Amino acid sequence: MSEPIIELQEVFKTFGRIVALNGVSAEIIQGEFFSLLGPSGCGKTTLLRAIAGFEDPDSGNIRIDGRDMTGVEANRRPTNMVFQNYAIFPHMTVAGNVGFGLTRKKLGTTETMRLIDEALRMVSLEGFQERDARTLSGGQKQRVALARALILRPKVLLLDEPLSALDRKLREQMQSELRNLQRAVGITFVLVTHDQEEALTMSDRVAIMFDGSIVQISTPEELYTAPANLQVAEFIGSMNFLRATVGRATSQGTEVEVEGLGKLIMASESVKPHSAGDNVSAGIRPEMLTVLFDEEAGTARVAEGQIADRSYYGDMTYYAVRLEGTEQTVTVSMRNTANRPILPLGSRVRINWNADSIVLF
Amino acid sequence: MMRGGFRFLTAYVAAYLLFLYAPVLLLPIFAFNDSRVVAFPLQGFTLDWFRLLLETEPLHAATRNSLIVASVAAFLSTAMGLCAARAATRHSFAGKKGIMGLIMVPLVLPEIIVGVSLLVVILQAGFNLNLWSIILGHVLICTPFCTVILSTAFSNLDRNLEEAAIDLGETKLTTFRRVILPLVMPGIMASILIAFTISLDEFIIAFFLSGTETTLPVYIWSQLRFPARLPSVMALGTVLLAISLILLVSAEYLRRRASDRSAAANAGGNF
Amino acid sequence: MGAAAIVRGRWRFRLPSGLVLVSPPLLYAILLLALPIAAVVTISFWTQNYLDLDRTFTLANYREAWSQPVYRVLMLRSLAVSATVTLCTVLLAFPIAYFVSFHVPQHRKSLWIFLITIPFWTSYLMRIFLWKVILGYNGVINGTLIRLGIIEEPLSFILYNVNAVVITLSHAWAPFAILPIFVALEKIDRSLLEAATDLGEGTVRKFLRITLPLALPGVLGAAIIVFIPTVGDYVTPRLVGGPNGLLIANMIELQFKKANNPPLGAALAISSMLIVAALSLIFVRLNRHHLRDRS
Ligand SMILES: Nc1ncnc2c1ncn2[C@@H]1O[C@H](COP(=O)(O)OP(=O)(O)OP(=O)(O)O)[C@@H](O)[C@H]1O
Ligand SMILES: [Mg+2]
């Protein structure tokens, strides 16, 4: 299969008493768009800077393109970086910034100019060569930073929250541009972000970090539908958690008693590693629960409840439903369609769920 | 109550400014006054005292010496300040506080102590007193000022810019030349100008450490004893004031440009 | 990046680069500041025999420095003058710093600070000399007062005595007092004052309960910055102090130059430095105590 371009083996890094990286191991594959996602302070920037060569790990190994990077200075690594605040050199023109790394290569003026033109075209900044870098807007600076790094054809491009300084509109535009750019140049991108939407929409694979450790690496879909643990499930999107007890295994599957939802049969595969008698948490996403309107036929999997709270979002409505037979409430999200009323508080409702979308922790 | 208090404060400020400016205002007045005594009433306008300056040979020698001392001291203390400021703003090392403290000590040390102690070692070591001994003393007292100015310049400099240069393949040295130096250059110029001005005006240390060759303030000191020389001393003072002001205004201008630059560099995102 | 890193199983030693970088100014300060001061301390224990130094250890210089009335008088006068100058300078400077910080619009502040420092870029000697012209028997002040008919005889108590030294030094050190106080006032969060108004405090009580305590560190800094160097000044007393306005620094200068007795001069210099350092420390301690009590 595809070759790993970056291999991280048990990378540790401490700052005094703070453990910033607590034994990080991962492989990043040649040509993929890889995101590091995690809450603030979990060590994302530190990991990125360790790959770039700005932090020496206390122990562990970083290999890039098969080469051990220990002792290799940042300026000798086949990586380039886009900084969070872009770090555009304010005393140079756009061309000066973009061509900054080329000067060492002694290419001659015409070749340098050609490469700069090409790089600027790539980020849609044709004709900006002589602009004073200080006069650029945030989005333009971002493009210059990208062009400046990509012009050197790195094996890996590292991006530390490159979109967080942009306003929402521009951010969404840059997300798709960045994605397209990555596909076009075929360079491995490693993106640090604390915005899960960004990670999910842009990446081929996402690594979730907590407290200096990577807890899950998978595709965005897998991350959302099959979070590795409770922490990941809580971090990505929103999820309802209900108390549940594992029952006996039958030929159809394993019985699980979920408070408020009753007894259900789940595929034995998805109950692992829990066994009969275990008290567990059953997680289900709000959009996997449905409010049944009168005309819709009831099915076998129905629970009764009462609407305790409601938030209207225009395209969606979120209901907090108190289930019968338990103190727990669940959040149900409903798309607002033409013939669907917004239910008032206190309404009695029946809700339906899909057992395949329940995850046990 | 508040209005009255404010009016009182304004009057006080005016009086205080008069107190501050009194000597400076008198200086040019007496420099152009056509009288051999420096006192009121004024006797009319003359340029004689300035003309006399042009003819006084020892004054020219002292001026030359002062310019040499001030230039060398400004250059050396700025180089020292660069090292100290860079280390203070970008590095952590054992004993940093104590080391920086020692470098800054001359700020709060009576100048006579600096003068006396340097005099003792220079004489004990068997060296002669000359312009170099004055330069040594001046570098010592200018370095703290340079360090303060340059620390501001360095701390306004975005650290990511340096890392970006390294990331793009530059070494530490070429990063310094291509990125750091151009960005802190206004700070360096300000530091040179301030050190130059301080050295040009310094008397106490220069008096202790000068041998046969003296600097301008030491020369002025020797002239203050002769009443007849006073009007031309006033003229000299006026010239010096004008030079200092020009230097300071340019230093201030450069300092502002420096902070504008780094501010623009730090603004990062939204315009 | 640590001081040392393991590279392929062996230690690669790296000096902390900060230490390397700071070494030129550090070595300079050690060689030309710490060492010379140590040398001054050393010779203060020696004796001058005409042209040679007798290097046997003796406390005679200190005995002389501390027992001879002339040195004691000069030392006490120096301290008294420095303390008075400090008090006057800081008291006079505070309203100015307050005015610039609270009543000058933001964009004009640096201009004002610049205006305040301009007079101090005239030659230091010249400034002192001009005070002599202002304060003298036929000087500006006496001339004006006589012409206005306020006095008939010129005032004589304003030149060639300690008063003249205090006035001149208060002028010379004004910016060194204004700047630290200004910086401290600038740091005060203006919303604290608004909060106090909101809680019903009047202008005066607001000043006493919030502005002044918060500005105190700046005031202390100003006091130290003015106090220490004034003890070392020997030019001002020489020019405007008259025979009874001479201070300890003049004596130190005399011993090192004309009297050619560096050991005694060194003992006087070290003694006064120690006294000044001790007084400053006590002053800072006392006030820190006071500051801590408040918080
Ligand atoms: N140079 C440093 N010195 C001391 N501690 C540091 C340093 N750099 C990072 N840390 C600490 O290491 C931990 C991880 O920091 P890091 O910057 O990698 O977090 P992050 O995941 O990038 O957070 P954010 O999303 O807020 O940027 C934090 O606790 C941080 O305080
Ligand atoms: Mg970060």
More confident residue, C203 or B67: B67
Strand ranges across the sheet with A213-218? A79-82, A156-160, A188-193, A33-37, A205-210, A213-218
Distance CA A133, CA A358 (A): 52
Does the distance separating the beta carbons of A89 and B164 come in below 8 Å?
yes
Which stretch of DSSP H or E encloses residue A248? strand A240-249
More confident residue, C6 or A357: A357
Which of A89, A104, A165 comes nearest B169 by C-beta? A104
Chain C residues lying within 8 Å of A55, measured CB to CB: 1
Mean pLDDT to the nearest integer, C223-250? 84
Question: For residue C6, is pLDDT > 80?
Answer: no
Q: Which pLDDT value is given to residue C157?
A: 78
Number of CB pairs < 8 Å for A and B? 83
Q: How confident is the model at residue A213 (pLDDT cuts 50, 70, 90)?
A: very high
Distance CA C272, CA C234 (A): 13
Asked whether A256 and A228 are in contact (CB, 8 A), the reply is no
Q: How far is the CA of B102 from the centre of ligand 2 (A)?
A: 36
Distance CA C75, CA C271 (A): 9
For atom 20 of ligand 1, the residue with the nearest CA is A41
Q: Which pLDDT value is given to residue C5?
A: 41
Phi and psi angles of residue C290, each rounded to the nearest 5 degrees, phi first? -60, -45
Question: For residue B22, is pLDDT > 80?
Answer: yes
Q: Which pLDDT value is given to residue A1?
A: 52
Is 0.80 surpassed by the pTM of this model?
Answer: no
Give the CA-trace dihedral at B264, B268, C2, C7, to 10 degrees: -120
Domain boundaries defined on chain B: 48-270
Q: How confident is the model at residue B266 (pLDDT cuts 50, 70, 90)?
A: very low
Q: How confident is the model at residue C38 (pLDDT cuts 50, 70, 90)?
A: very high
Residue B209 in tokens: 């450490």
Distance CA C62, CA B270 (A): 67
Q: Which pLDDT value is given to residue A290?
A: 85
Q: How far is the CA of A101 from the centre of ligand 1 (A)?
A: 28
Distance CA B243, CA C227 (A): 30
Q: How far is the CA of A55 from the centre of ligand 1 (A)?
A: 12
Give the CA-trace dihedral at A240, A242, A248, A254, to 10 degrees: -10
Q: How confident is the model at residue C240 (pLDDT cuts 50, 70, 90)?
A: confident
Question: For residue C189, is pLDDT > 90?
Answer: no
| Beta bridge pairs of residue A312 | A317
Q: Which pLDDT value is given to residue A299?
A: 61
How confident is the model over C96-132, as pLDDT tens digits?
Answer: 999 999 999 988 888 888 888 888 877 788 888 888 8
Pick among C15, C37, C125, C158 to test the B interface (most B CBs inside 10 A): C125
Fold exhibited by the domain C66-294: MetI-like fold (1.10.3720)
Instruction: Indicate the residue type of C289.
Output: H
Mean pLDDT to the nearest integer, A18-23? 93
| Beta bridge pairs of residue A281 | A243
Q: Which pLDDT value is given to residue C257?
A: 82
Which of B164, B174, B266 comes nearest A83 by C-beta? B164
Chain C residues lying within 8 Å of B124, measured CB to CB: 39, 43
Distance CA B157, CA C270 (A): 42
Residue B162 in tokens: 């340096």
Average pLDDT of chain B, as a whole number: 85
Q: Between the CA of residue C22 and those of B89, B96, C183, C249, what are the distances in Å?
A: 11, 9, 28, 33
| Complex ipTM tops 0.90 | no
Average pLDDT of chain A, as a whole number: 89
**Among 1.10.3720.10, 1.10.1370.30, 3.40.630.30, 1.10.10.10, what is the CATH number of B48-270?**
1.10.3720.10
Mean pLDDT to the nearest integer, A161-185? 88
